């Protein structure tokens, strides 16, 4: 029974420890002994938690160790960790009492040599190529003569000066420079933001939209150019709505940005040469086209002149063609002269015969005969005046009747005319009751009135006025009038 219960013996230094106590002792021991280590191994089980922390395992041929990288360090990584990459992790060893495991808390993570970096590059290239970002059918032709050129590069390096100098030599154009970092932490994000910024510019806005974009950087090592291998830069170039020229590094340098761009330039200077043509060459080409156009226009004219000259030599002389017509014209002119002379002679003979009949005695007899016919045709004055008087009396009677029948004549005897708002005369009580406002016209003006709801008493029947006695028609004495025919 005594063997089953733990007892504390006098002088016993081996006091029992709790699990938490031994875990804390182990944690302090490991962290003190391995406070700074660098481990080389292959990444496995790479994953990012929703909190932003990065978890993985480092392994070699004979062992595995877990690793964790907190959110702050994970955000500073210059590459995307993937399974199979050989890396060098710098940090400290610690324990995780919750699972009785030890692990490394990674402060920095680097690729283990250029071979690992190239392996990561090839792996990223294959993955993006499988998505079709590097497909040849996605490539767009560059504009022949861009008005505005956007350049994404460092504003202080020699690259921008080379591009501007080359553009000024070939074809001066408007250049928009988007300054970015081209190396180091945050360079990839700035380059991607610049490309997307140019693509988002609206045509006709306050900032002109480029016709072509040049992404440029000078030469360097693989690590120096790594920002242009980042996925964010590659996707920004592939999604850009403006044709993009990639001019990263020297001719032997190749980045993933070169595969995604519409054109790859071996150097930034070559990118400027791709973007614009040579203005002097264009001027010479235009001059050559103009000369060819003039020759093409003048050549038919020259051929026509040659053919015309050949035909002119075969034509007869103009005087020979007109000789017969000239002789016939002379003949007709002579005949016309003789015919006019004969006609004039005959006219003079007829005039002499008529003049003999125009003696004064004959003219006097003709005038006397005409006077007698005129006297017989003279009309008496009474026959003219009587119809005029009858028509005058009839017109006066119509004028009197018209004045009596005028619609406003009864107004002078105390009557009134009821009109609606439009001026139409109303003839019944129903029409007047349906109107909201009436106009009562008197002899000396108009008065506005509103109809009452109840019918007014019937007015007394007016006694008709006696009709005026008809006037006797009197014929005015006809004025004396001289005889028109004397």
How does pLDDT run across 104-150, given as a tens digit for each residue?
889 888 777 666 667 777 888 888 889 988 899 999 999 998 999 99
Backbone dihedral region for residue 156 (phi beyond 0: left; psi -120 to 50: alpha; all else: beta):
alpha
**Residues near 77 by Cβ (< 8 Å), separated by ≥ 6?**
54, 109
398 occurs within a structural domain:
no
Which pLDDT value is given to residue 378?
A: 65
304 occurs within a structural domain:
yes
* 273 and 150 co-located in one domain: yes
| Long-range contacts of the stretch 129-135 (C-beta < 8 A, 24+) | 129/259, 133/234, 133/235, 133/238, 133/259, 133/260, 134/259, 134/260
Percentage above 90 pLDDT, the chain: 23
Give the pairing of strands 86-96 and 101-111.
Answer: antiparallel
Question: In degrees rounded to 5, what are phi and psi of residue 66?
Answer: -75, 155
Query: Residue 171 CB: number of other CB atoms within 10 A?
Result: 19
Which pLDDT value is given to residue 216?
A: 92
Which pLDDT value is given to residue 214?
A: 95
Strands of the sheet with 438-442, listed across from one edge = 417-419, 438-442, 445-449
* 65 and 160 co-located in one domain: no
* 236 and 266 co-located in one domain: yes
Which DSSP string do the residues of 10-49 spell out, in sequence order? TT-------HHHHHHHHHHHHHHHTSSEEEEEEEEEEEE-
Percentage above 70 pLDDT, the chain: 87
User: Which ranges in 34-100 belong to alpha helices (H)?
Assistant: 71-75
**Residues near 432 by Cβ (< 8 Å), separated by ≥ 6?**
418, 426, 438, 451
* 252 and 211 co-located in one domain: yes
Indicate the SS3 state at residue 39: strand
74 occurs within a structural domain:
yes
Burial (CB count <10 Å: 0-12, 13-18, 19+), residue 226: buried
* 151 and 263 co-located in one domain: yes
* 166 and 268 co-located in one domain: yes
76 occurs within a structural domain:
yes
CATH number at residue 92: 2.40.50.140
Q: Report which secondary-structure segment, H or E, holds 149.
A: strand 148-153
Q: Which two tokens stand for residue 359?
A: 């003696």
* 84 and 171 co-located in one domain: no
* 214 and 158 co-located in one domain: yes
Provide mean pLDDT across the span 399-427: 81
Confidence class of residue 211 from pLDDT cuts 50, 70 and 90?
Answer: very high
**Residues near 1 by Cβ (< 8 Å), separated by ≥ 6?**
none
429 occurs within a structural domain:
no
pLDDT in tens, 323-356: 888 888 988 998 998 899 888 988 888 887 777 6
402 occurs within a structural domain:
no
Q: Kindly report which listed range (108-117, 172-181, 289-298, 340-349) carries the lowest average pLDDT score.
A: 108-117
Contact 234, 260 (CB under 8 A): yes
CATH number at residue 257: 3.40.50.10550
* 247 and 188 co-located in one domain: yes
Which pLDDT value is given to residue 5?
A: 65
Which pLDDT value is given to residue 254?
A: 85
CA distance linking residue 440 with residue 179, whole number of Å: 88
- Cα–Cα distances in angstroms (integers) from residue 76 to residues 53, 140, 226, in the given order: 12, 35, 14
Nearest to 143 by CA among 219, 83, 210: 210
Burial (CB count <10 Å: 0-12, 13-18, 19+), residue 238: buried
* 194 and 212 co-located in one domain: yes
Which pLDDT value is given to residue 322?
A: 80
Nearest to 118 by CA among 253, 294, 208, 306: 253
253-262, 364-373, 476-485, range with greatest mean pLDDT: 253-262
374 occurs within a structural domain:
no
Burial (CB count <10 Å: 0-12, 13-18, 19+), residue 274: middle
* 173 and 220 co-located in one domain: yes
Provide mean pLDDT across the span 58-78: 84
Contact 14, 32 (CB under 8 A): no
* 69 and 87 co-located in one domain: yes
Residue 319, pLDDT above cutoff 80: no
Residue 215, pLDDT above cutoff 90: yes
Domains in the chain, number: 3
Q: Domain residues for 303?
A: 283-310
pLDDT in tens, 367-386: 888 888 877 766 666 777 78
Nearest to 230 by CA among 220, 219, 240, 238: 238
Question: In degrees rounded to 5, what are phi and psi of residue 228?
Answer: -85, 0
- Give the end of a domain, one of 112, 127, 155: 112
CA distance linking residue 69 with residue 90, whole number of Å: 10
């Amino acid at each position: 029974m005594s063997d089953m219960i733990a007892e504390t013996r006098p002088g016993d230094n081996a006091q029992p420890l709790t699990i938490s106590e031994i875990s804390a002792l182990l944690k302090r021991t490991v962290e003190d002994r391995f406070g700074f280590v660098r481990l080389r191994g292959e990444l496995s089980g790479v994953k990012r938690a929703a909190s932003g922390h990065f978890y993985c395992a480092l392994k070699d041929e004979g062992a595995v160790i877990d690793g964790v990288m907190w959110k702050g360090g994970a955000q500073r990584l210059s590459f995307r960790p993937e399974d199979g990459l050989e890396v060098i992790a710098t940090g400290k060893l610690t324990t995780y009492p919750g699972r009785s495991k030890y692990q490394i808390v990674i402060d920095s993570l680097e690729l283990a040599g250029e071979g690992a970096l190239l392996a990561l590059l090839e792996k990223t290239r294959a993955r993006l190529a499988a998505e079709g970002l590097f497909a040849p059918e996605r490539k767009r032709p560059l504009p022949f003569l861009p008005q505005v050129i956007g350049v994404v590069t460092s504003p202080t390096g020699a690259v921008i000066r080379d591009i501007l100098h080359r553009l000024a030599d070939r074809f001066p154009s408007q250049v928009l420079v988007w300054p970015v970092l081209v190396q180091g932490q945050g360079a990839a994000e700035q380059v991607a933001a610049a490309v997307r910024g140019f693509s988002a510019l609206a045509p006709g806005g306050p900032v002109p939209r480029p016709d072509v974009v040049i992404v440029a950087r000078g030469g360097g090592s693989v690590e120096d150019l790594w920002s242009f291998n980042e996925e964010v830069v590659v996707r920004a170039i592939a999604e850009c709505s403006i044709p993009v020229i990639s001019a990263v590094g020297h001719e032997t340098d190749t980045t993933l940005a070169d595969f995604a761009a519409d054109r790859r330039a071996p150097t930034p200077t070559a990118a400027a040469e791709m973007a614009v043509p040579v203005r002097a060459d264009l001027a010479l080409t235009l001059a050559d086209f103009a000369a060819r156009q003039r020759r093409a226009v003048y050549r038919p004219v020259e051929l026509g002149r040659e053919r015309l000259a050949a035909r002119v030599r075969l034509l007869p002389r103009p005087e020979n063609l007109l000789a017969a017509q000239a002789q016939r014209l002379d003949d007709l002119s002579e005949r016309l002269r003789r015919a006019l002379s004969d006609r004039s002679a005959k006219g003079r003979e007829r005039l002499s015969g008529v003049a003999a009949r125009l003696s004064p005695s004959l003219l006097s007899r003709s005038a006397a005969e005409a006077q007698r016919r005129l006297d017989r045709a003279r009309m008496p004055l009474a026959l003219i005046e009587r119809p005029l008087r009858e028509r005058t009396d009839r017109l006066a009677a119509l004028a009197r009747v018209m004045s009596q029948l005028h619609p406003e004549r009864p107004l002078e005897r105390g009557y009134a005319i009821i009109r609606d708002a439009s001026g139409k005369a109303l003839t019944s009580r129903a029409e007047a009751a349906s109107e909201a406002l009436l106009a009562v016209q008197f002899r000396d003006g108009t008065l506005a009135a509103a109809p009452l709801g109840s019918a007014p008493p019937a007015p007394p029947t007016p006694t008709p006025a006696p009709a005026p006695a008809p006037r006797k028609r009197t014929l005015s004495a006809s004025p004396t009038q001289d005889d028109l025919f004397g």
